[in-house]
Amino acid sequence: VSILLDGVDEYIKEEDLKECSQKASQIQKKLLEDKDESRVLGWRTLEESAVGLDVMRKKAEEIRKMADVFVIVGVGGSNQAARAMIEALKEERKGPEILYLGNTLSPYTISHTLEKLEGKSVYIDVIAKNFETLEPGSHFRILRQWMRKRYTKQEMANRIIVTGTVGSRLEEIAKEQGYLFLQFPVSVGGRYSAFTPVGLFPIMVAGLDEREFLNGVLTAMEDCKKNDENIAIQYAAVRNLLYQKHYDIEMLVSFEPQYAYLEKWWVQLFGESEGKDKKGSFPACAIYSEDLHSMGQYIQQGVRMLMETVISVGKPHYQVQIPSDAANLDKLNFLAGKRVDEVNKMAELGTQIAHVDGGVPNMKVCMPALTAQYIGQLFYFFELACGISGSMLGVNPFDQPGVEAYKNNMF
């Protein structure tokens, strides 16, 4: 995974970028090498984050064989990374249908999800770091009641997996009821949990290649340790310089609808990490080219407060060719013989040129192909960049005190 910065050249001076990159490099060194006194940096190593792999692989294999439906019960960081990867690589999925609960309090969603479970072999994974959030907690109760009417206590114990921290109420429930307990490392926050059991177990159940994914994470970890000009440092430095110039909104965009949940994962990562003390870029996302026909006018000519980061994937999974038409009724024969992905790339290039010319600084994060390996690299790159960027802002990128306000009011 690499980054192209030619779309910010006219907005940032070279000497400013060099100085800011040096600061980012110093912060990275502290993040990767200092002792983890606050126990929030467990994502730095796979030894501390990717725990219990053999247990997860065995259970995931059973679920792929026995389940019709696998329900992930979690909200925010407890399901975003897994859902991002499962949706991005959905053509490679194997095993059961995957549904999501615990991320809403909508009676419509809960009712229709329960309807989809009728007559199916169901397994669930309840993911909650401290089990103190109402959405997944209430949905777990509803699902337990639903399962009691269909399975014996022993069958339920085999079909319910819980992922939480050691010592939490969720672990106590697992011991009391005989559920399989997977560890949510206490030193990893939810939005940084892509390569812990929180993210790994669901992608295993989906039949995706977790070894390739973890190899990608490891490759990125090693590169960032050795390389003082790695993409996490470059990205953090550029977005901070642009923020200082009052580009207060960052849009993450792509030209593939299947990346939508990957973008939502990024929105949470940066929004929850940086939005403190009246600081931080506002993270937003869009899918082009559809959103170019809804938001494009504003992006092109609205208030100049936007910066844009494009996720660009080189090699597509599918190839569709535009045919020739002898009558040329639509006057589009100039496209005959071209692949749709070629046209998509020209839309991407044309959009970048238009937006940069219109006053929108543009960065491009390039993935050679959409694979588990490169998604692993991307996740680690963004997580490290977020830690660096938040620290440069002067906020703690690993807490989320503001999230509790709505919860307290709701209770």
Catalytic residues, by residue number, are: 272, 293, 407
Q: How far apart are alpha carbons 228 and 261 in whole angstroms?
A: 30
> How many other CB atoms are there within 10 angstroms of residue 321's CB atom?
13
SS3 of the chain: CEEECHHHCCCCCHHHHHHHHHHHHHHHHHHHHCCCCCCCCHHHCHHHHCCCHHHHHHHHHHHHHHCCEEEEECCHHHCHHHHHHHHHCHHHCCCCEEEEECCCCCHHHHHHHHHHHCCCCEEEEEECCCCCCHHHHHHHHHHHHHHHCCCCHHHHHHHEEEEECCCCHHHHHHHHHCCEEEECCCCCCHHHCCCCHHHHHHHHHCCCCHHHHHHHHHHHHHHHHHCCCCHHHHHHHHHHHHHHCCCCEEEEEECCHHHHHHHHHHHHHHHHHHCCCCCCCEEEEEECCHHHHCCHHHHHHCCCCEEEEEEEEEECCCCCECCCCCCCCCCCHHHCCCEHHHHHHHHHHHHHHHHHHCCCCEEEEEEEECCHHHHHHHHHHHHHHHHHHHHHHCCCCCCCCCHHHHHHHHC
Residue environment code for 372-404, b if the CB has 16+ CB neighbours within 10 A, otherwise e: bbbbbbbbbbbbbbbbbbbbbbebbbbebeeee
